[in-house]
A and B are shown apart, each in its own frame.
Chain A
Amino acid sequence: MSSAIPPVAWSACLMLAALAPVAHGATRVATPVSPPAAPADAPERDPEALAALDRMGAALRALKQFSLTSDASTEIVLEDGQKVELDGVVTYKVRAPNQLFLELRSDRQLRQLFYDGKALSLYSPRLKYYAQVDGLNSTLGELVDDAAARYGIDMPLADMFLWGTDKAPKTAIRGALHIGGGTVDGEAIEQYAFKQDGVDWQLWVSKATALPKKLVITSLDDPALPQYRAHLRWDTRSAVPATAFQFTPPADAARIKLVPVAVVVTDAGQEN
């Protein structure tokens, strides 16, 4: 259970970070609350980096439809701390506000997720199993939360549906740095680095489109600090057909249950 230690240490840091401004406020009587210069021990929050997030959020929310293909690598931490990287491709086809197709393809697994605004279908083309649940009348921003909370479905790069909404508040960002300019895929970008609870993350944003071109997320809740890295390719021009979001079970596919998270827990105790 060595993994129990980092969260504790982390919360201790959080507490210190939270306490620091209070201490300053106490010594500086009648100082306005907004600190133009952050305390020395608090991470910097560069206004330019925060503004870049605003621009990116606005650009994402302005997209009525898009296709997003991402090379994605996920680091897995073995018991002894050794890290293994699993590579895959994440493909989204999206129509705002509430239609989505997601394919998760890796060397280990292939899954497809269809959401037509009402029913959520999960399909494994190799195993030929599908599951369907209704009654998820969600926008995509709500869907990524619902799918995770209700069905344990973790949709990678979910932030694409959260940035620019109140589900990704800037108050959650404790550190924001502008690293500098550069190129990704020959496209001019600006690189930024941010800190939030549980994750440090880096962002490469296209100067032309304000869309994210590359993302690296470092998870802080394990001492091995596993990273997720995604290299994003956007197609905001090609029309996404409505059929992309509709799942029609192939003749040789069989339906199975998608176990709600709460039931998984219950089942574990009394399934028979």
Chain B
Amino acid sequence: MRIVINRFFVASSLAAGMLLVVLLAVSASASAQRSGFHGGGARASAHTSINRPVQRPQGGNVNRGANINRNIDSNRTVNRNVNRNVNVDVNYHDDHWNHWDDHPFATAAAVTAGVAVTSAVIGSIVNSVPPSCVTTVINGMAYQQCGNVWYEPRYAGTTVQYVVINPPR
């Protein structure tokens, strides 16, 4: 419920130019959340081995952290959308299958984890970034700069996630 309300706020507080994109994101989120707690997409996937102890609840293992924090979302939406955009969607996503997919086909593909102290954007996690982003290597590590927003790509399991960070200087 809280999330829905926040989205309303989002839509009403954004500039008109952003509106369409936001609506798209919101509708994607809404469809992803249709069935409630699990978010969207998949709820399970087949185990690919027999004897290895399964530490994950089901299927995908990579977004464990995000799952744990899905309830924290409530504070974040407001701040984030003041700052920017859209790809950093509110939607937590328990996407068991996105670890198969570098271009997720099911959802807006956003996971969120964590709440930043100063800016709600920081710490958000998405599974893809806009194609316009520029790869920048600092101290041997790669970052994605998209306008004034910086993402740190990282592997969580075999999934590449992008974490919104403060500019790495």
Q: Which residues of A contact B (CB under 8 A)?
A: 1, 3, 72, 74-80, 84, 86, 88, 104, 106, 108-111, 113, 122, 124, 126-127, 129, 131, 144-145, 148-149, 151-159, 162-163, 167-168, 172, 196, 198-199, 201, 217-219, 221-222, 224, 226-228, 254-259, 261, 264-272
**Which of B3-11, B20-28, B58-66 contacts the other chain?**
B58-66
Residues from chain B with Cβ under 8 Å of A219 in the complex: 44-47, 58
Q: Which residues of B contact A (CB under 8 A)?
A: 34-35, 37-38, 40-55, 58-59, 61-62, 64-66, 68-69, 96-97, 99-103, 105, 113-114, 116-118, 122-123, 135, 137, 140-142, 152-158, 160, 163, 166
- The 17 listed contacts between A and B (C-beta, < 8 Å) are A3-B44, A3-B58, A76-B96, A86-B100, A104-B158, A106-B100, A113-B158, A127-B160, A199-B47, A217-B47, A227-B46, A256-B152, A264-B156, A265-B64, A268-B68, A272-B117, A272-B118
**Nearest chain A residue, comparing its CB with the CB of B94:** A79
Give bound CA distance, A267 to B113, whole Å: 8
What are the 7 tightest A-B residue pairs by CB atom distance, in nearest-first order? Answer: A254-B142, A268-B65, A152-B157, A156-B48, A268-B113, A222-B44, A226-B46
Decide if B45 touches A74 in the complex (CB within 8 Å). yes
Decide if A126 touches B154 in the complex (CB within 8 Å). no
Decide if B48 touches A74 in the complex (CB within 8 Å). yes
User: Which of A88, A152, A159, A226 contacts B52 (CB under 8 A)?
Assistant: A159
Residues from chain A with Cβ under 8 Å of B48 in the complex: 72, 74, 154-158, 217, 228
Give bound CA distance, A144 to B103, whole Å: 27
Decide if A151 touches B157 in the complex (CB within 8 Å). yes
B69 to chain A, nearest CB (A): 4
B100 to chain A, nearest CB (A): 4
Residues from chain A with Cβ under 8 Å of B122 in the complex: 271-272
Q: Which of B97, B105, B155, B160 has the most CB of A within 10 A?
A: B155
Decide if A256 touches B154 in the complex (CB within 8 Å). yes
Residues from chain B with Cβ under 8 Å of A254 in the complex: 135, 137, 141-142
Residues from chain A with Cβ under 8 Å of B158 in the complex: 104, 109, 111, 113, 122, 153-154
Give bound CA distance, A158 to B42, whole Å: 23
**Nearest chain A residue, comparing its CB with the CB of B40:** A79
Residues from chain B with Cβ under 8 Å of A122 in the complex: 155, 158
Decide if A77 touches B156 in the complex (CB within 8 Å). no
- The answer to whether residues A75 and B46 also contact, given A86-B100, A124-B160, A258-B154 and a CB cut-off of 8 A, is yes
**Nearest chain A residue, comparing its CB with the CB of B39:** A79
- The answer to whether residues A159 and B68 also contact, given A80-B35, A109-B100 and a CB cut-off of 8 A, is no
